[in-house]
Structure 1
């Protein structure tokens, strides 16, 4: 082909894709999220660091693309799974569960919704490829990391379907963990309960309160009053009505938390210090996180489910119940409240919460070990979410439907998804280049 024609084709492709990116960003960030310009710029600056950070902050672009593609392994529309909705490498981490055990699991449920299980696998697989590129992996090793994830998922979901493992009790704890995940849990064993409390609070005349930093600031009088007014709604959601429980949840201090994740920029977040116990100088106080939440991104692209929305019209309740459904040991502080027309969920800010840093993954074996662990946890999450079949949320067992959709040829399933994911990672890198170019153009105009 004439080089000039080739160049014209490439320019046209880029021009059309750039228009798509611009339209989607404007629709979601400006119109739906109603992010003011400064917040959009803050979000886009975070997204511009790497293709992976761009991918993390643009879930709506991912769903726009994949919901228009045909895949042979979807479950039927009338047999959706309760999905996490924004599954990627950095939405896994270690924390302490309700029983006090250290576990490694999924730790973000803001985008929880009903849809094909495959969307979680697709998004996670792309993120593995992008992380592999950050680590300088070859094409073959990227495929290997994704296939390790998918093989582990497939084997574990089949074990759940056959009743060999129970998703209600399955956990990656110190006994079951391996490789870098086990090292992370061992490291956290040495951390004291007060670690996070001492990090974000200070004693002022024997009273504990939040310590001001760049990320933790005092609320305005209006913000404080609104949260205090809404607190009874939260207490109702956790069924706290006895005198001892009300003392436990007594608010000692409130702070505004800045420095949120990429996708959460523009959503309000508070830290609330509660009494929790009678230890001197508030040594047993607990920090709760109150986070604003909106309609999940997948909802704009998945089939509408009337029963789901009837049950989870409050977005804070949706996130809370998603976490409870997917974790066998749920945070006892999970609840929700509303401030005006904004909806929030509440959870404990665990002193043991820690993510596995990419720098800690030093070898190919480390990455394979971690992705396999993530695969098993994804299977647990999907199988675990239907334990309340009797309540009518899902009237069937997801793991059974997923195994049917995957078919018997496990290798073919894993190879198909892995090759697609690496190909889509190429698209993400192309989009990232267009995005950073678009972003620089916006700066010149301002």
Structure 2
């Protein structure tokens, strides 16, 4: 039977600054021990200097006591001193659940409170910071941030399942298209175009296309007239005359409609457009026909394949930007972002709206997800291995705790001097 390897907690190594301060504190304690032994020996060797060496011994002796006491206190926070399971030692690993709960409750009580967040967010100019970064990003920090963010985005995009995401995007867009009634929207767009006379170039284009189609199909028109004319007209050649008159008349009519926007036929065509606009918005029968055509279009296999390819096309474009952010920032995208930064910088009203939106968003997140954040912190700390949490906390505050050992050694020595002086005075 194959045994699974035992997973061991990975203990983080102590930072160099912590190791250095630990050596300093321990070295000072050893120095005090050497000084104590040396001064004790020198008192008997030099009787005339007994008073001086007495003070030195008192200082070294009290310094050792203070240093050892603080060493015990600092060590007891994270482990059992000398491996001996003395009661009330290894405080952090033995109370990690309570530490996690207390830390989480502290965050909930003093940080994740809407009133506190609002007060602190009012001091932040998020829009100003965004504007400054977009228009004048710091070369070092901005570049590192951009590269790191780009790698993160690229990894996230590459990790997404293209087939599943394509299906989700297709489903979302298809559902949105089905929910949107096309006829009233088309009517509103056409009405806005007519109000601003943006339909006139379209009518001009349609008329020119009709004139071109007429010129290209003169032969077809002549054959149609010839086939439908009576034998007398064909025998006399009047069918050719009729065809010429018809073609010339249509060509002249189309040319006049292009040149004269007040032409009666063109005006009647525009009235027909007005009627179409009204029907698109108010005629149930036409709206139903447009909806049926829209459903058929959405269900068309070619359209479905196009919808499925939208995500892949978007993903490929985003990946190109993420893999080469400097090139993207130097191109049209960078120009757009810089213009956005300039707009934020020069439009105080827009900046205020962005800051207000950010403030409300953060407050909303704290209000809606504050309990979840607290629970996450508590469960994360509870899930840590005891050695892991001890190592992480010690790495963060251990250097300051080593200063406590140094201070305890020095202060203990000074207290020893005072006590020895008082003892001599009372003797």
Task: Pick the TM interval, shorter chain.
Answer: under 0.3
Higher relative contact order (CA 8 A, sep 6+): 2
Q: Under a length normalisation based on structure 1, what TM-score does the superposition of the two structures give?
A: 0.20
